Amino acid sequence: MSERQYLANAIRALSMDAVQKAKSGHPGAPMGMADIAEVLWRDYLKHNPHNPGWADRDRFVLSNGHGSMLIYSLLHLSGYDLSIEDIKQFRQLDSKTPGHPEYGYTPGIETTTGPLGQGLANAVGMALAEKVLAAQFNRDNHEIVDHHTYTFLGDGCLMEGISHEVCSLAGTLGLGKLIAFYDDNGISIDGEVEGWFTDDTAKRFESYGWHVINKVDGHDSAAITRAIDEARANDDKPTLIICKTVIGYGAPNKQGSESCHGAPLGDDEIVAARKQLNWPHQAFEVPADVYQKWSAVDKGAAVESSWNKRWVAYEQEYPQLAKELKRRLNGELPEGFENTVHNYAKQLQSSPEAVATRKASLNVLNEFGPKLPELLGGSADLAGSNLTLWNDAKGITADDASGNYVFYGVREFGMSAIMNGVTLHGGFKAYGATFLMFMEYARNAVRMSALMKQPSIFVYTHDSIGLGEDGPTHQPVEQLANLRQTPNLQCWRPCDQVETAVAWGAAVQSSKTPSALVFSRQGMQQQERNDDQLTNIARGGYVLKDSDGEPDVILIATGSEVDLAVNAFEQLTEEGHKVRVVSMPSTNVFDIQDAEYKESVLPSSVTRRVAVEAGIADFWYKYVGLNGEVVGMTTFGESAPAGDLYKHFGITTENTVAAAKRLLGA
């Protein structure tokens, strides 16, 4: 047995021991990919265990995240702050070693990889971010941004449709510093994949424009080394290295079968595996010489120190560029940006204009964009409808990545997961747009951004039945409720250009919360506000119209329906009723305000409440109570002009007035 095999066996032993102790997990992938990981991590990966966030580190993503003990073993062995006790706590409550790698739990984990294929998509985003950042900041003899993105993936990642979306785009954009290792072991949970996965993967990726290195023996260190050298020498195409491996390698009675995919090996098989692997050590025991040969601490410190010297030279020759790059990598906004948001909103308030909020969004981008060079935007083939292509937007291509806009094509899911990868990489504020209805394609990536606390900005237009003639396939009904009920997500549905500016400002200023900005196709009347109301927009909900004294009934609305509520207010007020209108552009933001403020907007003493929104009605009972009324949708839409649809579904001023009167007993 070679020294390399012996060192790789440390991964196998830790993996099978941790899974066995937890009584759950996936030992097969870590044992099968251990040899590949040993070569990559010990000979190529540029990283510093004592500074996991070093800016110019290589990124490593385990897309087949069920094999999490592979990366936990690698982090532990190479010297990260992940102890053997942490390894023993695999899959236990509050441990640093959860069942799937989770960003923020463990030093060295670059992204959360649970749903298959999304890690690969995140890796594409990281490679894209590296290429764009390098094009924007590198100068002759100063390649201050220069790192690779490596990702491991399995059959499941390639069967998921998102892999097609993102790998197609990666080839088009020429992401040459992206290197993917495909664990071609022929096994998934249900058994041998030849019964349901017979793609010619090599030809598939060649057609994407990737460099493909096929039929690499994943247990031959020399072959793996040659493949990585070849991949790194090719800088104009991403590379797929197809590695033939044996799942569960080293477990003599279970290797090569689904029995070692997603279940512990069992005590007897572990004894047999130790003998097979010539690993005569107790559970969780790693010899000192193995730790010494695995440690990347000294090497990592030296590599970072070398980069720091290059940074000093860069800073001396290009002080303004260095200052700007440092600001962006630190996630800091340009000085005074908060004032920019407030001043622009105030300017809009003093210059009333009735526009669709999607057009108002474009106006905001034209105002904020020149002040935010970190904006990296895009649209899923709907730029002309989403209105995301602002004046200074410059498309990114394989040959020129210095721009700030990605033409994602019809890839909603891929776009959203790539945005998460860009955000995780650092240096950018990523936004991407599609119709609200097509959030459904991307739903899991939106959820992952919230789970990881990454401030990606999801722009959704055509927000309701108000989009009209395209019909129920394109008219969102339940999507707003879905977004609002997602933990750690801020969903905004503004009613006019002023609220749109504030919503964009909140999204850009958010550091740990993704935002969904939901805009209309149809025009919106601008509402009158005083300075206090203007300030309170940022609190998610505020009193827009009010009565003298405590109101008898409160009308709550968002988006285009705010105008219906205001019209109802005027009619009811003329009839002598005391009415309040609350505009609530973001229920999520309103919900986290202090109790005193929420009580000032929705006093508990006023129980007569009506919500009006062209979305699913059930969501609003949390604000109006079981005895309140909701003027909203209870079915899917229809195909007709928007005005006809609002009347057909009863989302009108008249019905809002009628609902209020029923509550008032009038």
Whether 71 has a binding-site annotation, put simply, is no
Please count the residues of the chain: 666
d(CA 97, CA 84): 11
Asked if 81 and 171 touch (Cβ cutoff 8 Å), the reply is no
Whether 438 has a binding-site annotation, put simply, is yes
Q: Where are the alpha helices (DSSP H) in 40-160?
A: 68-78, 84-88, 118-137, 155-159
Whether 474 has a binding-site annotation, put simply, is yes
Whether 274 has a binding-site annotation, put simply, is no
Whether 185 has a binding-site annotation, put simply, is yes
User: Has 317 been annotated as catalytic?
Assistant: no
d(CA 621, CA 606): 15
Beta pairing partners, 633: 616
At CA 532, angle to CA 357 and CA 456, rounded to 5? Answer: 45
Whether 114 has a binding-site annotation, put simply, is yes
Rounded to a whole number of angstroms, the distance between the first and last alpha carbons of the chain is 89
Whether 616 has a binding-site annotation, put simply, is no
User: Would the CA dihedral through 320, 325, 330, 333 be positive or negative?
Assistant: positive
Ramachandran class of 471: left when φ > 0, alpha when ψ lies in -120 to 50, beta otherwise: left
User: What torsion, rounded to 10 degrees, do the Cα atoms 488, 490, 491, 495 define?
Assistant: 160
Whether 521 has a binding-site annotation, put simply, is yes
Whether 644 has a binding-site annotation, put simply, is no
Beta pairing partners, 543: 582
How is residue 108 written in tokens? 């060295």
Q: Where are the alpha helices (DSSP H) in 350-496?
A: 357-368, 383-386, 412-425, 439-452, 479-484
Whether 156 has a binding-site annotation, put simply, is yes
Neighbours of 473 (CB within 10 A): 9
How is residue 395 written in tokens? 């498309």
Residue listed under structure tokens 């033409």: 407
Whether 342 has a binding-site annotation, put simply, is no
Asked if 385 and 463 touch (Cβ cutoff 8 Å), the reply is no
Nearest CA to 244 out of 261, 227, 262 is that of: 227
- Active-site residue, from 102, 412, 499, 613: 412
Strands ordered across the beta sheet of 429-435: 405-407, 375-379, 429-435, 457-461, 515-518, 490-492
Asked if 609 and 625 touch (Cβ cutoff 8 Å), the reply is yes
Q: Strand 523-524 and strand 191-192: pairing? A: unpaired
Neighbours of 43 (CB within 10 A): 13
Whether 470 has a binding-site annotation, put simply, is yes
Per-residue buried b or exposed e for 53-76, using 16+ beta carbons within 10 Å of the residue's own CB: ebbbbbbbbbbbbbbbbbbbbbbb
Whether 627 has a binding-site annotation, put simply, is no
Q: State the binding site for substrate.
A: 26, 261, 358, 385, 462, 470, 474, 521
Q: State the binding site for thiamine diphosphate.
A: 66, 114-116, 156, 185, 261, 438
Q: State the binding site.
A: 26, 66, 114-116, 155-156, 185, 187, 261, 358, 385, 438, 462, 470, 474, 521
Catalytic residues: 412
